[in-house]
Amino acid sequence: MKTQQRIITFCLTFSILFLFWVIFSGKLDIFHISLGVFSCLLVSWVTSDLLIVTSDIPRFIRLFIGFILYIPWLIWQIVLSTIHMLPIIFSPDINNKINPKIIKIRSKMRDNVGLVTFANSITLTPGTITVALNMYGDMAVHAIDDECADSLPGDMGKKVETLFRE
Amino acid sequence: MTVYISGILIACGLFFFLVGSIGMIRLPDFYSRLHAAGIIDTMGLLLSMSGLAILVLNEITLGNFLSALKIIFIVVFVFLTSPTATHAIVDAGIRAGLKPWQKNNI
């Protein structure tokens, strides 16, 4: 890795770690801040090549911002599918309401982090759980009824694909 | 005012905890029960923790703001770890050869 690149990764790791130090410590006097600076310098010196593995720093920052914008939409999807689950759970004839099955879907993404984000989003949404995932984008998803099964990959797949495109 | 908002949010969160627990008992098999557990992890935790964060922000100081931020971080970390744990449980079930419950062959 180039020296300039190493310095940028080091600074980025240090600022992320120090932000977390300030949030979790909450004490802003000289003693605690200097302890934080010292330990963050030590940790980012040891691990600066582990937290940020990509060499493309602008893409990393763009991904981070896109991810923050993706979270509210994901929470909205969670709310919608929880409301979909409510009548199923309270129905007197629960075994006829549900129709569990394992469906296979395929994603066009090749980015590992993108695939994991997609699989975790599927699992977080009540009604669908990712059973298996491989690096070629093949997924097996356990869905609790037909409506949940039909909604995949759908909008969520498109959103994650546009987020993680090269 | 914030007390009432946070009370409503925490009550909704507890309602979804109850829904998830009822679902875990009523659904027929291992895999479909995990769907109900997902409601607890996501909606229940999200609503009750945001209620607590608003309650802490009742009077706005730096310390209270940091406490609210820490409560939000609880949700963030559970949202990162709970799908991973669910996947590990499902994968263990599949590897052990447990067949999913299906509608027509009971």
Give pLDDT tens digits for A43-91: 988 887 777 776 677 877 888 888 888 888 888 988 888 888 888 888 8
Give the minimum alpha-carbon distance from A102 to chain B in angstroms, rounded to a whole number.
8
Contact between B35 and A144 using a beta-carbon 8 Å cutoff: yes
The minimal CB distance from A99 to the residues B36, B63, B103 is found for: B103
- Residue B106 pLDDT more than 70? no
Give the minimum alpha-carbon distance from B39 to chain A in angstroms, rounded to a whole number.
6
Distance from chain centroid for Cα A106: 18
Give the minimum alpha-carbon distance from B97 to chain A in angstroms, rounded to a whole number.
13
Q: Digits of tens for pLDDT over chain A (166 positions)? A: 578 878 888 888 898 899 999 888 888 889 999 999 999 999 988 887 777 776 677 877 888 888 888 888 888 988 888 888 888 888 888 778 788 888 888 888 888 888 888 888 888 888 888 888 888 888 888 888 888 777 777 778 788 888 877 6
Tell me the β-bridge partners of A142: A102, A129
Give me chain A's average pLDDT, please: 84
A27: contact with B, CB 8 A cutoff: no
The minimal CB distance from A100 to the residues B22, B91, B102 is found for: B102
Alpha helices in B1-106 (DSSP H): 2-26, 30-39, 45-56, 62-95
**In angstroms, rounded to a whole number, what is the distance separating the alpha carbons of residues A16 and A26?**
16
Helix/strand/coil for B65: helix
By CB atoms closer than 10 A (0-12, 13-18, 19+), residue A120 is buried
What is the domain partition of chain B in residue ranges? 2-95
Instruction: Note whether ipTM > 0.85 here.
Output: no
A96: contact with B, CB 8 A cutoff: yes
**In angstroms, rounded to a whole number, what is the distance separating the alpha carbons of residues A144 and B33?**
10
Residue in chain A lying closest to B104 (CA): A99
B65: contact with A, CB 8 A cutoff: no
- The identity of residue A165, as a single letter, is R
Taking each continuous run of H as one helix and of E as one strand, the counts in chain A are 7, 3
For residue A78, what are the contacts with CB-CB under 8 A and spacing of at least 6? A124, A125, A126, B42, B43, B46
